[in-house]
Structure 1
């Protein structure tokens, strides 16, 4: 769009054009507003502006609407009208887009290893308490000290089993490691796997540099994460975005304040990042947001309510776009006041009142200017996008994926030797192999009674009563006693079945007959059989 100027992105127009200065874009930002007030269009306008300036973008596409940025705009009536209102000429454009998807269905698969995710984010992902998180840290420490690679979920499951088996030994070194706690983590891991997280953990892991591409025309690539299905697992969504932000912070070099960001990161549905986040995680988010600026990365949170973002993080967000809020409830009224108080006041505006009166496509805008001070808040008409507003079709998405520079790079899973294979190999080396057709040395041999009648557990019990071992070589006397035990087992089994099955067809008579036997001193079937074989009789 011709309204963009060198070093700036046109956001919209109030009494004057409102620009976002690229040199200050890594000071982060916030876009808030109620559903249907135009946040997605604002996000697309900003993403296009960054791309046009040669800045790569990463954004989650919650409803699929953002994907249309890959196609040339069609100049519908409302867009042409808006351009006329803000005094710019409409120019349709399309932008380089790479589609990603944690599930590998609507884009290239995105993967990370378990080690890269780390115990803190993984504990949050699985909803573990402090004790369980502590044991998970032990698992990571043991894996690291023994050289076991944690790449995918089966590696983590194998390590959990290893720690449970060696809990007594590990407790003396790392503190209490309860098998029950390990079991709770394993159950949480199963839930995580059922939600599809097993597709996220593994290799090849995403290279951060692949998100920072610029095409031949100098446009920055817009990386779009398909998140419509991912929103069904909000903890996975939030944990992935936090992992990605942490990886950017750890891998990128210090650059100070560049003329424009190296990457801009949009956190859509930002409240999911902070909901029920433990204190340690909130501190990590605050630290990363505060320090990643010097890595040349701008972070923009997109959410409905400014109260969704903790104050410590909110204080780091210099560029603000506030769409309409509705003050229907006390919490809504508090949000309106909080939003109004964060802006630099404009003597011409009652900011709190205007927030509730804004129409669709309007917003209160305050951007950093000069030496980094926020501009006076202005009521602004947001500039329309140059790309298509709305989703791409499945056929268009498939065509874009077919031309992607990363086609074939991430599409196939790599499963190299890691903790699962290494622990399995160790188990094979320490356990003698059983000969074909013979039980392993430690495996219990099947008993005759168990083989013949399926009542092996009963014969073992009766074998103990008669002083007869249930396994090993037996003398002639022992064999006779064992035969007796087997016969008793068969009779007991029949008696049990007879009582159970017979009781269903003659329940009333069974009650009266049992009472009669008890009154007359008679025994039950089991007792009678036992008396017959033992020769003791009952008095």
Structure 2
């Protein structure tokens, strides 16, 4: 609640008002305490005050009761006692609802809230996928190859397509980017598929959230952006990584503004221990860097968790405004945690801080807020003010009405899938498949043509050989016939000549011998010789 331009958070045992100074609100803060000690009420009182100042707020709704801030509080007997106890009536206390925009990564209980694979980056993606160091290094390389080839990584199918592309062409890439194990690439793809079954295929996509849409007001009051996290909290890595991405986006998007009279935005990180569980050294360094530097962008971050020991010392040292609800010390480890929490406060000689923390009732706390000079105030034992909004949750009908009444509903409720790495690589694969098919067809055509040419050559060669054989046969037949005819003719002629010649010779011989007897004898002899 605002009073005299300051955030009135509580009253101490003396009835004195305890304030958070607006100009110190971007120095971050911590709200800690065991379950059921009143942390949610404290968060609501803070968020109301920032909204009344015109400062936009982001809150994660883990239990489903933060959304009740859209409804005014109920005037019960208990509330009347609180109003009287704090003297709120004189300060202008009134029951009222606040402007809220409800978001949901899965799009079921709020406006769909999305980001892209490229925007979340390899470091946070490796955390979501729970990759080891080698796999994380390969994922970094895949992001680099995508950037170098101007391939957009928007959703999980883009990332899987890119991983498969790198795996298929890793020999070509290894010369420039280093060796990449096929087994590690396959393991990353399996992790992505597992994440898709938890809703990541809905979370990664477009339209992606524009952080500037959260820096809005409604009738002069800061918009309270509420992320429904009842389902999301079951996946602690996705929940914490998404909130860390939001902090990083704020840090990278907003300009440097230095110290302002009030923050530009306040970010509440509930169940903050999930942010640091299992975080790599590189990630812890990034978180610490963001927390240290983001205040210069006018953003205040408030971590809400059960115990201060959930927050690393490097981050805890940056938290100037602290609210510590009761801690229960049932074990020696719990007692040490309480003592450590008490030691982080500036002592108050009026009470023992460690003992007081263990004895606090619901709605009670020990607090220390930054003073005008920036020095932590002396620890105070206080009672937290009640909120002006509803302490409970809202009905499904009220939630649905609030979602659809938002000006951002029409912008983010739809979904589109623009041309990105998956589509590009699919087209490339189709072109390569077509080229391969055409090359195969051309090779087959060439093979057929070559076969036909060989068959034609063989047929021609065979025909030529057959023709040559036919010519040889014809020539042989001709020679045979000539020889046969020649022999027959010569035989006939020879016999005839022989007969003629023989008769003539015989006659002449006979005459010579002396008479017809001799001639007859000689013709008989030669005629016999020349027959046949």
- Give the structure-1-normalised TM-score: 0.80
8 Å contact kept, 1:70–1:96: yes
- Aligned with residue 107 of structure 2, among 104, 112, 115: 104
Deviations 1:294-346 (A, max 9, x none): 00000000000110000000000000000000010122111101110011100
Residue 175 of structure 1 and its aligned partner are, at CA, apart by 1.2
Residue 78 of structure 1 and its aligned partner are, at CA, apart by 2.2
Q: Give the Cα–Cα distance (whole angstroms) in 2 for the partners of residues 181 and 124 of structure 1.
A: 15
- Aligned with residue 144 of structure 1, among 137, 142, 147: 147
Provide the secondary structure at the position in 2 that maps to 1:190: helix
Provide the secondary structure at the position in 2 that maps to 1:432: helix
Aligned to 2:294: 292
Aligned counterparts, 1:302-451, within 5 A = 302-432=304-434, 441=440
Q: Give the Cα–Cα distance (whole angstroms) in 1 for the partners of residues 174 and 103 of structure 2.
A: 42
Question: Aligned pair count?
Answer: 439
Q: Give the Cα–Cα distance (whole angstroms) in 1 for the partners of residues 436 and 4 of structure 2.
A: 75
8 Å contact kept, 1:56–1:214: yes
- 2:159 is the alignment partner of 1:156: yes
Residue 440 of structure 1 and its aligned partner are, at CA, apart by 9.8
Aligned to 2:23: 23
Aligned to 2:270: 268
Moved more, 75-84 or 355-364: 75-84
Q: Give the Cα–Cα distance (whole angstroms) in 1 for the partners of residues 260 and 324 of structure 2.
A: 27
Aligned to 1:75: 75
Provide the secondary structure at the position in 2 that maps to 1:373: coil
Residue 434 of structure 1 and its aligned partner are, at CA, apart by 8.7
8 Å contact kept, 1:432–1:441: no
8 Å contact kept, 1:62–1:268: yes
Aligned to 1:185: 188
8 Å contact kept, 2:156–2:201: yes
Greater C-alpha radius of gyration: 2
Aligned to 1:201: 204
Provide the secondary structure at the position in 2 that maps to 1:100: strand
Provide the secondary structure at the position in 1 that maps to 2:42: helix
- Give the structure-2-normalised TM-score: 0.81
Q: Give the Cα–Cα distance (whole angstroms) in 2 for the partners of residues 69 and 358 of structure 1.
A: 26
Aligned to 2:5: 7
8 Å contact kept, 1:7–1:23: no
8 Å contact kept, 2:265–2:298: yes
Q: Give the Cα–Cα distance (whole angstroms) in 1 for the partners of residues 204 and 275 of structure 2.
A: 19
Residue 65 of structure 1 and its aligned partner are, at CA, apart by 0.9
Question: Deviation above 3 Å: which 4+ runs of structure 1?
Answer: 439-442
- Relative to structure 1, is the Cα distance of residues 440 and 323 closer, same or farther in structure 2, using a 3 angstrom cutoff? farther
Provide the secondary structure at the position in 2 that maps to 1:98: strand
Moved more, 400-409 or 235-244: 400-409
Q: Give the Cα–Cα distance (whole angstroms) in 2 for the partners of residues 344 and 78 of structure 1.
A: 33
Aligned to 1:522: none
Q: Give the Cα–Cα distance (whole angstroms) in 1 for the partners of residues 248 and 439 of structure 2.
A: 48
